[in-house]
Amino acid sequence: MVTTIPQTPNTPIQSVLIVGNYCHDVLLQGGAVVAETLGGAASFISNVLTGLSVSFHLTSKVGVDFKYPVNHDPIVVPTSKTTVFHAYFNQGYSENAHQDRVLKRVEVCDPINPSDLPDRKFDFGMAVGVGGEILPETLERMVEICDAVFVDIQALIRAFDENGTVRLLRLKESGFYHLLPRLKFLKASSDEALFMEVEEVRLWCCVVVTHGKDGCEVYWKDGEMKIAPFGANQIDPTGAGDSFLGGFVGGLVHGLVVPDAALVGNFFGSLTVAHIGLPKFDLRLLQHKCMLSNILRGSELCGSLCWKLGVNGEGRPYNARIKEEVQTRKVQGTCWLERRDDEVSFTKPAGHDEFHASLSSSKLVSAECRRDLSRSPGSVEQ
């Protein structure tokens, strides 16, 4: 069983439980292997939460053949192999498949059972299986030990034919439908949303539908809202939705209301598609003076990452800066953590557009820093 990440003074103490297996991902194009990477929604989400200094516990299973070093050790099943996915690009669109790739599960690890979960309470739970490892009874146990449960619909509706090709079931046929009233958020891509009745599901829990380059939409019982996207040069869409969910929950943990947290989700999703496999956020680049000047102009997200490095150009710790920044993003006295009330949570706060501009600016400055550092003799080793 894994442990939470080490805590630093003033690190947010809200705890998150992530449930989903690590995978081996193999990307193929034209019949040739393009890349082999660590995969699984849990790997992308934990990557984002670590960057946002959010404490979490990860329950994941792998086989004895698991080959990647990770900061949060999984449960090793001695009689099983690690789940393996092959992603075939440029295969065209077919029913039950992503438009940009066809997925096949070629190996499968054991499912995660209720007894595998820790015997303690959590503020947030994330059910993020990718290979059928989340069981109805496991999700029910998560509801019992977590105050608010977030579910990626792929954990509920994915099925696999005799060749391992991923196909999708109707949500009502998945065996999980009865648990919807006990969930807080259900996240789906625009393709996956076709396999549920959004107008019906939104009566039970909040639904977040991601639209790739077009951002996302949030639906709740009494309304809906579009959240603006961030520009990105897509190389590999794998993990974009997972990184979105990690950023979204990370924003809520930091006390942001839903619209601002969804912006953080869109931001991390846009970063992820620009990488093959698990993205690296290049934290060391944030020490560059041009990035620091942007942070000091108010980019709270990059501020949180730089605080992890202990740099801010002024000789004072970034934890104080983060606290100040996050407070400005809250509706005073009515943030999501203080009052989990739909009417309050889904109100777009003042400064929302400025927050979007600040995150966009941080991406542009980061790109400029990379170019500057790559041209300089003392460039940071990537």
Residues with catalytic roles:
242
- Longest CA span, the chain: 60
Number of C-beta neighbours around residue 281 at 10 A: 18
Number of C-beta neighbours around residue 118 at 10 A: 14
Angle at the Cα of 139 from the Cα atoms of 137 and 143, rounded to 5 degrees: 115
- Pick the closest to residue 68 from 49, 48, 40 (CA basis): 40
| DSSP 3-state of 110 | coil
**Amino acid letter, residue 250:** G
Is residue 49 within 8 Å of 91, Cβ to Cβ? no
- Pick the closest to residue 149 from 188, 175, 174, 186 (CA basis): 186
Q: What is the DSSP string of 58-105?
A: EE-EEETT-----SSPPEEETT-PPEEEEEEES----TTS-SSEEEEE
Is residue 134 within 8 Å of 110, Cβ to Cβ? no
- Pick the closest to residue 266 from 204, 217, 206 (CA basis): 217
What is the distance between the alpha carbons of residues 192 and 202, in angstroms, rounded to a whole number?
15
The β-bridge relationship of strands 61-63 and 75-77 is parallel
Residue 44, φ and ψ in degrees, nearest 5: -70, -40
